[in-house]
Chains A and B, each alone.
Chain A
C-alpha cells in the first residue's frame, strides 16, 4: 500500500487524508454494519495531481478573472465548466494512476464501482458541503475509473460549491478532495432515514424508492414515507408515492426509467423492512453518539449502509438553508423535461395570445379612466409574466448546462464551450428578424442601380417590408423613448447596413453534422435515444434563452404603447421626455387633472470624471476572435440607432430586442457575464469577438474610444 491509497476499513480522519465520510464508513464496517467494500484515494493524491499538472495555477488564473463576490451565477458555472475541462484534459501522474488501478485489481476486480466525492470540508459541524460535490455510479474499467476520479476532484470547484463558499465567506478551494471507490451495490429498493424528525423529536423518518437512491437524492423520484416512534418502534405509513419511475443501472452509469406496472400499488417497504432500516439507524446513532441522516440500499434481503452523517438541520440551520438554495440551482433531466413541457405547452401559447389580445385593444374609443385601467392591466400582465420568467424560464437554461457537462465528460474537447455550436441550429427569433433587416438593406442598396418603373416598384417594396418589420416585430426595437420613430429608425439603420455587406451568420451546417456524429457516437446503441432526448432538450433550452425575452418584450411593448397614448393626451403636463414614462405616474395623471407626473432622474455617475482611466479590462471570453474599432457605448435605446458599421458595441446588458444592430458591429462588450447571456449567444451566432462580465463597462469606456476586444482571453484594451 502507498500514501495515495487507504483501504476503506482503515480510513482515518485523524490523519486528515480520507475525509469524515470515509471515516464514518470505516467505523460502521468495524461495528458490524454492512458497508460496500472499497478504498480511499487520499487527498494527498489530489494535491499532487493539481501541483504536478499545473492545474493549481490554472485554477487561480480562472478564478482570478474577477472577485467571486462580483460573479453572477452564470459566470461561476462557466468557470466551473472550464475547470472541469482542465481536469479532464490533465493526466494523472503515472504512479497515482497505477496505484488506483492496482487497488481496483486487488480488492474490487470485475466489479462495477461507485466513485464518490469525499471533500475534507464535507460534513464539518459548521458547514455542510454534502451534495455540492459529485459522485458517479456504475463505473467500469480502468480508464473510466481514472476519468471519474478526475471528475470527482474537479467537483471541488463545482458551481454550487463555489457559490456556497462565497455565501459563507469561506476561502475558495482551501479544502481538498479525497475519493471513495466502492463496490457498486445494485439495490432493488433504497432510501434515506433521519434519526430524528426535525419537527418532532420523538419520531424518526424513513423514505424509500424503488431502484437506486440517486432518484430520491436528486429529487427525480418521489419516495414513500414512514414515521417511526423512536420510543416504541411503532411504524406508521405516512405517504405513498405514485411509483412512476426508478433509477436503474445502464450500460454506463445509471438512468431513470418508467417503473413496471406491478410496483405501482405496492409500498416500497414491508413493515419488517422498515423495522430493519430503523434498527440500523439506531445502531448508527449509538455508534456516533448523535441522531444520523443515513442513506441505504437493499439488495435481496441484505441492507447496505451507503452513508451516515449527523443531521445538519439540527445544528446549522443557516448554512443548510444556503446549501439547499445552491443545490436548487441545479436541475435534473427529469425536472427540466417537466419545465419544458410547461413552458412550451402552457406558458408560450398563453403569452402569445394574451399579448396579441391586448395589442388588439384600440385606445381610440377609451376614456381617460378606461386608458388608466388598461395601463394598469398591461403593467400587471408584464409583472406577472416577468415573475414566471424568473421562476420557470431562467431555471430552464440549465438544460444547456446539463448538456454541456455531459458533452464535455463524454467528448472532452479542448474548447469547453464547443457544445454550443451543436445547439445553435434552430434560428432564434431575433436572428430571424435581423435577417429580414439585412434583406431590406440589400434591397436599399440595389435601388440605386435601378431606374424608372423598376426603381418605383423597389421603393414601394421597401416601404412594404418596413411596415411588415414594424408590425410583425411590434415594439421589439423600441423603448419608451424611441417607439414613435421606429419605422424611420429602422430605415436609417437599414441604410447604414446597405453600405457594405453586413456580418453573416456563423452557423456552419457541416460542423454541426460533425459535432452531432461526435455526440451520438459517444453513446452505446441502446443509449442513443436518451442522447437524442438530451440534445433536443438542450436545443429547446438554448433557443428559449433568446426567445423568451422576445415573448416578454411584447408585454413591455404593449405597455409602452399605452403609456405613449397617455403622454399624447397629457400634453404639457409631461414636462420632459422622462416625466411620463412610469405607469403609476401616468395612471394618476389620467385620473387627476391637476396632477403633474414626477420627472424620472437618472442616477448621476461621476466615474467618467475621475482622473483614473481604464486601460485594460478583464472579463469572460464569450466569443472567440480579436477586433479593433471605435466604441459605441449604449446608454439608452436610441443610441442603438446611431451605430456605425465596424464599431464595438459596449452595453450594460444586451437583450434579444436590441440585437438587430449586431450585423453592423465588429465586437460586443457587456457588463453581464456568462456564455449563455444573450450578447454571447448572438455574438457566437455571428462569429463576433465578445467579452462579457466587465463591471462598469459603460462607465469606463467612452463612445469613440479606440478599443481592442480580445475574445480569446476575455480582454478589452482601451487605447490612448
Chain B
C-alpha cells in the first residue's frame, strides 16, 4: 500500500484541534522515513514547528460498499526529523522520483521537504483486524 498509494492524510497537532491535510508522500525502502512537501505559509507547517509528533493515514478505499471488507488502512506514527528546502539534495531526487509532477512546486522557494522518522505502522484490514510494526 505504501507503494501503490501516492497520497496520505497528514495529522498535525494544532493549538486547539488535531489538523488534517492531504499530502503527497514517499517512503524510504527501509520503511524508516516518510517524506512530504509543504509550503511554509500553511497551518500544517506551523503546527509541525510547534510539535514534531505527526501521524499519517494511508488507505486503499475505492468508495464502494465492498471497502468494508476490501479496503486497508495504514496509520503511521512518527516525529519530524528535518525540514529543509532540499535543493539539489538526494532527498529531493527521491521525492521527485515518486512525484515528478511536483517539480515546479518544489522549485518554489517557499516550499520545504519534511522528513519524518517513523516509529510505528498500524495496519487495519477487513474493518477490524489490526497488526502493528515497530520501527527501530
Q: Are A57 and B127 in contact (CB under 8 A)?
A: no
Q: Are B66 and A613 in contact (CB under 8 A)?
A: no
Tell whether A448 is near chain B: CB-to-CB under 8 Å. no
In the complex, how many angstroms separate the beta carbon of A400 from the nearest chain B beta carbon?
28
User: What chain B residues lie within 8 Å of A57 (beta carbons)?
Assistant: 65, 68
Cα(A61)–Cα(B126), bound, Å: 8
Q: Are B126 and A613 in contact (CB under 8 A)?
A: no
Nearest-neighbor residue (CB-CB) of B127 within chain A = A64
Q: How large is the interface on B (under 10, 10 to 19, 20 to 34, 35 or more residues)?
A: 10 to 19
Q: Are B65 and A56 in contact (CB under 8 A)?
A: yes
Q: Are A612 and B131 in contact (CB under 8 A)?
A: yes
Cα(A615)–Cα(B134), bound, Å: 12
Q: Are B132 and A64 in contact (CB under 8 A)?
A: no
User: What chain B residues lie within 8 Å of A611 (beta carbons)?
Assistant: 133-134
User: What chain A residues lie within 8 Å of B51 (beta carbons)?
Assistant: none
Q: Are A615 and B128 in contact (CB under 8 A)?
A: no
Nearest-neighbor residue (CB-CB) of A710 within chain B = B128
Q: Are A616 and B128 in contact (CB under 8 A)?
A: yes
Residue-by-residue, is A607-619 near B (CB-CB < 8 Å gives 1, otherwise 0)? 0000111111110
User: What chain A residues lie within 8 Å of B130 (beta carbons)?
Assistant: 614-617
Number of chain A residues whose Cβ lies closer than 8 Å to a Cβ of chain B:
18
Tell whether B17 is near chain A: CB-to-CB under 8 Å. no
Q: Are B128 and A618 in contact (CB under 8 A)?
A: yes
Residue-by-residue, is B59-85 near A (CB-CB < 8 Å gives 1, otherwise 0)? 000000110111000000000000000
Tell whether B122 is near chain A: CB-to-CB under 8 Å. yes
| A66 and B133 contact, Cβ closer than 8 Å, known pairs A60-B68, A61-B68 | no
Q: Are A60 and B65 in contact (CB under 8 A)?
A: yes
Residues B113-136 near A (CB distance < 8 A): 122, 124, 126-134
User: What chain B residues lie within 8 Å of A615 (beta carbons)?
Assistant: 122, 130-132
Q: Are B129 and A617 in contact (CB under 8 A)?
A: yes
Cα(A611)–Cα(B134), bound, Å: 7
* Residue of B68, B128, B131 touching A613 (CB-CB under 8 A): B131
Q: Are B68 and A64 in contact (CB under 8 A)?
A: yes
Nearest-neighbor residue (CB-CB) of A67 within chain B = B126
Cα(A117)–Cα(B126), bound, Å: 31
In the complex, how many angstroms separate the beta carbon of B1 from the nearest chain A beta carbon?
14
Tell whether A573 is near chain B: CB-to-CB under 8 Å. no
Residue-by-residue, is A279-293 near B (CB-CB < 8 Å gives 1, otherwise 0)? 000000000000000
Q: Are B69 and A613 in contact (CB under 8 A)?
A: no
User: What chain A residues lie within 8 Å of B134 (beta carbons)?
Assistant: 611, 613
Tell whether A715 is near chain B: CB-to-CB under 8 Å. yes
Residue-by-residue, is A44-63 near B (CB-CB < 8 Å gives 1, otherwise 0)? 00000000000011001101
Cα(A259)–Cα(B69), bound, Å: 51
| A61 and B69 contact, Cβ closer than 8 Å, known pairs A611-B134, A613-B134, A615-B122 | yes
User: What chain A residues lie within 8 Å of B69 (beta carbons)?
Assistant: 60-61, 63-64
Q: Which one of A63, A614, A615 has the highest number of Cβ atoms from chain B below 10 Å of its Cβ? A: A615
| A613 and B132 contact, Cβ closer than 8 Å, known pairs A65-B126, A66-B126 | yes
Q: Are A612 and B128 in contact (CB under 8 A)?
A: no
Cα(A410)–Cα(B78), bound, Å: 55
Nearest-neighbor residue (CB-CB) of A617 within chain B = B129
User: What chain A residues lie within 8 Å of B65 (beta carbons)?
Assistant: 56-57, 60
Cα(A116)–Cα(B25), bound, Å: 54
Residues A58-86 near B (CB distance < 8 A): 60-61, 63-66
Residues A688-720 near B (CB distance < 8 A): 713, 715
Residue-by-residue, is A594-628 near B (CB-CB < 8 Å gives 1, otherwise 0)? 00000000000000000111111110000000000
Residues A315-339 near B (CB distance < 8 A): none
In the complex, how many angstroms separate the beta carbon of A165 from the nearest chain B beta carbon?
15
User: What chain B residues lie within 8 Å of A613 (beta carbons)?
Assistant: 131-134
User: What chain A residues lie within 8 Å of B133 (beta carbons)?
Assistant: 611-613
Cα(A257)–Cα(B133), bound, Å: 63
User: What chain A residues lie within 8 Å of B68 (beta carbons)?
Assistant: 57, 60-61, 64
In the complex, how many angstroms separate the beta carbon of A596 from the nearest chain B beta carbon?
44
User: What chain A residues lie within 8 Å of B124 (beta carbons)?
Assistant: 616
User: What chain B residues lie within 8 Å of A715 (beta carbons)?
Assistant: 128
User: What chain A residues lie within 8 Å of B70 (beta carbons)?
Assistant: 64
Nearest-neighbor residue (CB-CB) of B67 within chain A = A60
Nearest-neighbor residue (CB-CB) of A51 within chain B = B65
Nearest-neighbor residue (CB-CB) of B70 within chain A = A64
| A61 and B132 contact, Cβ closer than 8 Å, known pairs A56-B65, A615-B122 | no
15 contacts between A and B (CB under 8 A): A57-B68, A60-B65, A60-B66, A61-B69, A63-B69, A64-B69, A64-B126, A64-B127, A612-B133, A614-B132, A615-B131, A616-B130, A617-B130, A618-B126, A618-B129
Closest 4 CB pairs of A and B: A64-B69, A616-B130, A615-B130, A618-B129
Which residues from chain B sit less than 8 Å from chain A, CB to CB? 65-66, 68-70, 122, 124, 126-134
Which residues from chain A sit less than 8 Å from chain B, CB to CB? 56-57, 60-61, 63-66, 611-618, 713, 715
User: Beyond A60-B66, A612-B131: 8 further Cβ-contacts under 8 Å?
Assistant: A57-B68, A61-B69, A61-B127, A65-B126, A611-B133, A615-B131, A616-B124, A618-B126
